[in-house]
Amino acid sequence: MIVSEGDTAIALRSGDVPVLGTPRLVALCEEAACAAVDAQLSEGETTVGNSVQFNHLSPTPVGGGVSAEATLERIEGRRLTFTVSARDPAGLVGAGRVSRVVVDRDRFLAKVRPGSTSAGTQPPDR
């Protein structure tokens, strides 16, 4: 991805510097984890985030390119554990572990409570 103003710590409210924000970098690594197993999932299955352990090691400026990769390290029942890393042209930007759980999409969505933020409403502004 190319870092835009919307990807910065300022825009994400996770800091006050105009560089790639940690939440966006973690999301990029989760995207890589999803892509790593997407073709192996059965019809109606998806994965949902369960746990993230991540170290953001160096800044990437607006306009800079960054890429992420994920390697499936362990399968424990429905839980998948990935090693993830992200790089920009200067080198390693971040690394860690992401755990995701395989779920039936419809059954998972049936558990969403009406009126919760995950049901499509926006969280209150701070």
Is the distance from CB of 57 to CB of 66 less than 8 angstroms? no
Average pLDDT over residues 103-125: 75
Which positions are annotated as active-site residues? 22, 30, 56
Given a cut of 90, whether residue 50 has pLDDT beyond it is yes
- Of the two residues 94 and 119, the one the predictor is more confident about is 94
Q: What is the pLDDT of residues 92-106, one digit of tens each?
A: 999 999 999 999 999
Per-residue pLDDT at 126: 46
- Whether pTM exceeds 0.75: yes
Per-residue pLDDT at 117: 62
Q: What is the pLDDT of residues 61-71, one digit of tens each?
A: 999 999 999 99
* Domains in the chain with CATH codes: 5-112 (3.10.129.10)
Per-residue pLDDT at 116: 67
Q: Is the dihedral of CA 66, 82, 92, 17 positive or negative?
A: positive
